[in-house]
Amino acid sequence: MAGDQPPQSLDDWFLSLLACPGCTARRPLHLGNDQTSLICECGRYSFPITDGIPVLLLESASVLDDTIPAGGKAAGE
């Protein structure tokens, strides 16, 4: 049964294709330390990975740092 096996990990090639849908600059995403989320390079958003599939919807994202404005531009940029 498919639910008995851990989800397949995301490889670097696939990750290099993904960009943050919340950032104006479409910054890259990287795999979080817990391997269950993708973190935007700007540091504002974290997107869940559900059953091995990245959920890149802003409605599903967690805001990690609300001092970074929506759109992903850090102060001083």
| 11-70 pLDDT per residue, tens | 888 888 999 999 888 999 999 988 899 999 988 999 999 988 999 999 999 999 988 887
- Domains of the chain with bracketed CATH: 8-63 (2.20.25.10)
- pLDDT at residue 34, rounded to an integer: 85
Q: Is the pLDDT of residue 73 over 80?
A: no
CA 31 to CA 12: how far, in whole Å? 9
- pLDDT at residue 1, rounded to an integer: 43
List, in sequence order, every residue forming a beta bridge with 50; answer none if it has no partner.
Answer: 53
The residue to which tokens 């269950």 are assigned: 36
Which of the two residues, 56 and 9, has the higher pLDDT score? 56
In degrees rounded to 5, what are phi and psi of residue 48?
-75, 155
